[in-house]
């Protein structure tokens, strides 16, 4: 299989990528199957956190593969959807999958009916497998993030790792919903056709620079582990450091704990510890 994304960029160092994810297998032992897709997406979700340390410090993240490898693999940082799913796309392509990037609109707070009021600032992936195309996403940091790939067909529903998701097809879009104690909540909607690289570059610039972007106004870090989901929301950094933040830990049974983190030394320790962010600066 081959990718519909840009073919001129250099290939990913799969050995280093798999080591970063803690997958103890050679690339040759990972054929382009649904089982491999599940393994790789799940491993990246657990290993590489969602974070916006660069945009909130006034830095626009590069989406070029060498920069993604340096930041997310070698320096063990995290990133947001354009970076995380960009890296995942490159890895899956190198493993032999056909990958199509899909632009998305996050609709938390406005619902599916309000999708047109939201900019296309999310990126997810359609990945072909022997069991048909699947939605893959390792770049949605919220508690409603997809823990495993979901079949890309109308009405697909799957429960995995304590979360349940459903995918619905509308005339001009897909919508992904997560099950909550109050019922189904749409997380984002997706285009039905691939988004070109230049559109992802423009959306990345918008997310990293626009004054109304949530990622330029406060520190946002999320990490999913096998035992809990961690979410850190912090004040905008001053001279590169955040002096106060709130850490919410949510467990699979629905329990949650909150604590205030004060001072850069403690914030930095939480980033490196519970949230798994390396090289925080």
Catalytic positions are: 81, 122, 137
* Inter-helix orientation angle 197-209/81-94, to 10°: 150
Contacts of 262 (CB under 8 A, 6+ apart): 243, 244
| φ, ψ dihedrals at 86, nearest 5° | -65, -45
Contacts of 70 (CB under 8 A, 6+ apart): none
Of 99, 109, 107, 98, residue with least CA distance to 174 = 107
Distance CA 68, CA 63 (A): 6
Give me the residue label for tokens 């770049």: 139
């Amino acid at each position: 299989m081959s990718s519909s994304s840009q073919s001129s960029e250099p290939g990913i160092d799969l050995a280093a990528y798999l080591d970063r994810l803690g997958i103890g297998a050679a690339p040759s032992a990972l054929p382009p199957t649904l089982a491999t897709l599940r393994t790789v997406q799940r491993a990246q979700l657990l290993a590489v956190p969602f974070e916006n340390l660069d945009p909130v410090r006034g830095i626009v993240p590069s989406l070029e593969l060498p920069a993604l490898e340096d930041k997310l693999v070698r320096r063990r940082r995290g990133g947001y959807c354009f970076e995380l799913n960009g890296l995942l796309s490159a890895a899956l392509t190198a493993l032999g999958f056909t990958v199509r990037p899909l632009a998305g609109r996050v609709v938390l707070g406005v619902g599916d009916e309000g999708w047109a009021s939201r900019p296309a600032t999310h990126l997810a992936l359609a990945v072909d497998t022997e069991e048909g195309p699947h939605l893959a996403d390792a770049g949605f940091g919220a508690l409603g993030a997809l823990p495993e790939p979901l079949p890309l067909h109308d009405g697909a529903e799957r429960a995995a790792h304590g979360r349940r998701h459903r995918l619905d097809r509308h005339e001009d879009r897909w919508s992904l919903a997560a099950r909550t104690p109050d019922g189904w909540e749409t997380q984002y909607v997706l285009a039905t056709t691939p988004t070109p690289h230049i559109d992802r570059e423009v959306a990345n610039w918008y997310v990293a620079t626009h004054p109304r972007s949530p990622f330029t106004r406060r520190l946002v870090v999320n990490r999913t582990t096998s035992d809990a989901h961690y979410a850190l929301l912090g004040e905008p950094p001053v001279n590169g450091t955040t002096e106060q933040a709130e850490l919410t830990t949510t467990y699979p049974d629905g329990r949650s704990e909150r604590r205030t983190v004060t001072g850069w030394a403690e914030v930095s320790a939480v980033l490196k510890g519970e949230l798994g962010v390396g090289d925080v600066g």
